[in-house]
Structure 1
Amino acid sequence: MRSSRKNNLPPQRTTGPRGPRPAPRREENNTRRGPPVAREDGPQRIAKLLARAGVASRRDIERMIAEGRIALDGDVLTTPATLLENLRGVTVDGKPVAPPAAARLWRFYKPAGCLTAARDPAGRPTIYDRLPAGLPRVMPVGRLDFMTEGLLLLTNDGELKRQLELPSTAVVRHYRARAFGEVSQAQLEALSEGVEIEGMRYGSIDANLERRTGSNCWIELSLTEGKNREVRRVLAHLGLQVSRLIRTAYGPFTMMDLDPGDIGEVQREDLFRFRQTLKTPAAKKPPVEK
């Protein structure tokens, strides 16, 4: 008989209410309307437009411009600050850029032992070796290091990727860590004040000791920054050696029904409702004329 406890993990809490989906609202003309699409008027930076079209992240697009790979009407661009109304006439590596598709989001259970990268010079396996054929071009939201497993969000939309990664939007990442060593709940609670390690400042972390098994313990952590190897470095600072690290949730999205290597798309309506809840930096108010 197959165990009901998946992946040898302690019981996992849900991150939000679950239940039957409400029936779609009926419009007077008996047609179904999808969620409204946010629009921005006026010229925008080409890096933003290309990221929105799913070509690459803004940072990667800036690098591609510096390498002379992006052109407008045949002229190679030299600055990512170029302002455009749309991507008509823009080419990447000589190929026209397709209009941006609707934003989509997938949940992927990244197995341990693969990179969150498109390719590796050392020939190690990457997440793209595990993804099924037929997906559009997708970009990872944040990263999980080589031996970290668990939930990795993937999207075809560069702006959605950036929105989910920004600390200012305060999307909470949830982790479980199995570690060797001794630690007290008081030490873990002190992480809520943040900690500085070798000149790097890490923000508030909500950490709780779940259980002990001999010399090992399970620790649950929640954070919003997601800096490189943050969980491993913070726990090492407390004298712990992490033997297994799993990201169990990213915002309201969990890996509860996924096995390693599995992928599932987030429904459009759920994605739209989630984006409505994201915090955004306060806009600067225009000066008042006297």
Structure 2
Amino acid sequence: MSNSKERLQKVIAQSGITSRRKAEQLIQEGKVKVNQKVVTKLGTKVTANDEIEVDGMPLEKEAPVYFMLYKPRGVISSLQDDKGRKVVTDLLGEVDERVFPIGRLDYDTSGILILTNDGEFANLLMHPRYEVDKVYIAKVKGTPEKSELAQLRKGVRSDGDLLKAIQYRVLSTDRKNNYMILQLTLREGKNRHVRRMMDGLGYPVLKLKRENYGLLTLDGLKPGEYRPLTPKEVKQMRNLATKNVEE
């Protein structure tokens, strides 16, 4: 944030500590101070020079940063792990900011993972109503028939959830070795979505990679590598999410 004025709830959300909606709630509950004075009015504007406290804790002032990581298999999409396994932030050796992953990829799943310290941006991409497409490549055990694959668009029930793919495409079939490679496009991102969906059809996932996240691809990255998103990419991802809401 520069010396220009920004809405208080937006600044709190961008710090990464909570979503904008939760920030608004904290303001209304009198849990936010600006320059040691309690602020309860939504829409209050602040600058980089203002001292902000949220629930008694000073707000850390970091410029927003955005990274794309090619997460390898065998890494946890978290900031820490009680079993001592490697976490995604362990791969960001030269990043000084306190970033966190937007959503998650399973331990055994590879592919695109975005990390940021901008809570508002994270909420924009994670919230189901924004419907940012994500494309996965799945190697599944078995060779399902067309009629079975058609169920992916209708939805597969699993533990009370209806899990869907908005698009699917068969990339290859190996009947001799009994597996199929599928490309699956999702908008929702429920826990272990692809794996549970394919388990429900009776064709468990052997290997899974997220190849696209909105307009982002893995081009130029190897597993374990990362790069900053360009300002243009950040803007495009914001626009993509809000465009989907408007439509």
Q: Classify the TM-score, shorter chain.
A: 0.7 to 0.9
In structure 2, what is the Cα distance between the partners aligned to 1:219 and 1:120? Answer: 31
Residues 149-168 of structure 1 mapped to structure 2, 5 A cutoff = 149-168=110-129
Give the alignment partner of residue 255 of structure 1, picking from 197, 203, 218: 218
Identity %, equivalent residues: 30
| 1:177 lines up with 2:138 in the alignment | yes
In structure 1, what is the Cα distance between the partners aligned to 2:198 and 2:41? Answer: 44
Pairwise CA RMSD:
3.2
Give the alignment partner of residue 205 of structure 2, picking from 234, 237, 242: 242
Partner of 1:7: none
TM-score, normalising length: structure 1: 0.69
Query: In proportion to residue count, which structure has more helix?
Result: 2
Q: Is the 8 A contact 1:185 1:208 kept in 2?
A: no
Following superposition, the deviation at residue 263 of structure 1 comes to: 0.4
Following superposition, the deviation at residue 207 of structure 1 comes to: 1.8
Distance 1:86 1:280, change over 3 A: farther
Following superposition, the deviation at residue 147 of structure 1 comes to: 0.9
The 10-residue stretch of structure 1 (208-217 or 197-206) with the greater mean CA deviation from structure 2: 197-206
1:32-74 Cα offsets, whole Å, 9 max, x none, are: xxxxx9x997x65x5x53221x232439x78xx8xxxx86367
What SS does structure 2 have at the residue aligned with 1:219?
strand
| 1:105 lines up with 2:66 in the alignment | yes
Partner of 2:167: 206
Following superposition, the deviation at residue 280 of structure 1 comes to: 5.7
Q: Is the 8 A contact 2:156 2:200 kept in 1?
A: no
Report how many aligned residue pairs link the two structures: 232
Corresponding letter in the other structure for 1:219: L
Report runs of 4+ in structure 1 exceeding 3 Å deviation.
70-77, 81-89, 91-96
Larger-Rg structure: 1
What SS does structure 2 have at the residue aligned with 1:159?
helix
In structure 2, what is the Cα distance between the partners aligned to 1:220 and 1:280? Answer: 22
Query: In proportion to residue count, which structure has more strand?
Result: 2
In structure 2, what is the Cα distance between the partners aligned to 1:105 and 1:55? Answer: 12
Partner of 2:79: 118
What SS does structure 2 have at the residue aligned with 1:277?
helix
Partner of 1:226: 189
Q: Is the 8 A contact 1:168 1:281 kept in 2?
A: yes
Partner of 1:86: 46
Distance 1:223 1:55, change over 3 A: closer
Structure 2 unaligned segments of length 5 or more: list them: none
Distance 1:218 1:122, change over 3 A: same
TM-score, normalising length: structure 2: 0.79
